[in-house]
Copies of this chain bind each other. A is one copy, B any other.
């Protein structure tokens, strides 16, 4: 079957009109006589015609594809490189990002190409991919504060939107959360519950979101008379949460409240607490961050600072679409507000 796919020319011949007319019908531009339009439509379905995207892209300079880039640390060792994709995708956070992005892209008939930029080589590949016109723009989910990718993209004049504010200012639109407020919310809640010996497990400090959450948390604590809050740096994984909590418990066995910079770590923390015979929230209250799927799956369900990831991702996609079609030229910044979701853990 279909030894040779039918072209516009074939359809035009079949319908007895010119190529231009068929093109008009297919793309719905300008008025075409209803009778002719119908004839063309029938010719299209009779021939089983499907427009060739490459030919189309060649002249429109648009592909309908965007790169969805999970951008990582500065550089990563070989064995880590393999795990990068798996780890990124295992985090419920990324699932939500993809979900939000896809929801916006679909009605625009755009499609995301998944890319990972964890090494200098991979970053060059992303830039090259865009420069050769394989994708119209990039959505970058950058975890590392000094990720070089945004600057590369901006330097090449490529349309891109970032998740998270870049540490060094760069001429790209971005979407972010008011992480500082999130930290404040967590502190106020723990304080409000009457917790007095509060500790915290931060995210990797190389991630600016971690720094902000921690800063907001500490500032609020300080304002309420807790000048010093013991903390340990975690890695945003369940495991790292467990390790961190074990460490904190060794030095501060009297702790009665803990703020974890994400839900995954909060889950690990709850686990360690339970193993040590501490009841959550009775003995120790735990506040997470994200309000991801694990927040409800966790025992007890987590009180957490909600980050509207899907909406943020959707905003990213919308911004990028605007940049691509030229409806927006100046970089924009959209900041979302966090929200405390009270469940059982605190």
Interface of A with B (CB < 8 Å)? 1-2, 5, 50-55, 57-58, 61, 63-65, 68, 82-83, 85-90, 92, 94-96, 98-99, 102-103, 111-116, 128-129, 131-134, 156-157, 238-239, 271, 275, 293, 297, 299, 310
**Bound Cα distance A96, B61 (Å):** 34
Q: Establish whether residues B102 and A133, one from each chain, have CB atoms under 8 Å apart when the complex forms.
A: no
**Bound Cα distance A297, B65 (Å):** 36
Copies in the complex: 2
**Bound Cα distance A271, B294 (Å):** 14
Q: Establish whether residues B54 and A133, one from each chain, have CB atoms under 8 Å apart when the complex forms.
A: yes
Q: Establish whether residues B129 and A111, one from each chain, have CB atoms under 8 Å apart when the complex forms.
A: yes
Q: Identify A63's interface contact among B54, B95, B157, B310, CB under 8 A.
A: B54
Contacts of A94 in B (CB 8 A): 89
Q: Establish whether residues A55 and B52, one from each chain, have CB atoms under 8 Å apart when the complex forms.
A: no
**Bound Cα distance A131, B2 (Å):** 11
Q: Establish whether residues A102 and B116, one from each chain, have CB atoms under 8 Å apart when the complex forms.
A: yes
Q: Establish whether residues A95 and B85, one from each chain, have CB atoms under 8 Å apart when the complex forms.
A: yes
Q: Establish whether residues B85 and A98, one from each chain, have CB atoms under 8 Å apart when the complex forms.
A: yes
Q: Identify A238's interface contact among B85, B95, B103, B297, CB under 8 A.
A: B297
Q: Establish whether residues A65 and B95, one from each chain, have CB atoms under 8 Å apart when the complex forms.
A: no
Contacts of A86 in B (CB 8 A): 95-96, 98-99, 293, 310
A212 CB to closest chain B CB, in angstroms?
25
Q: Identify A293's interface contact among B53, B61, B90, CB under 8 A.
A: B90
Q: Establish whether residues B90 and A102, one from each chain, have CB atoms under 8 Å apart when the complex forms.
A: no
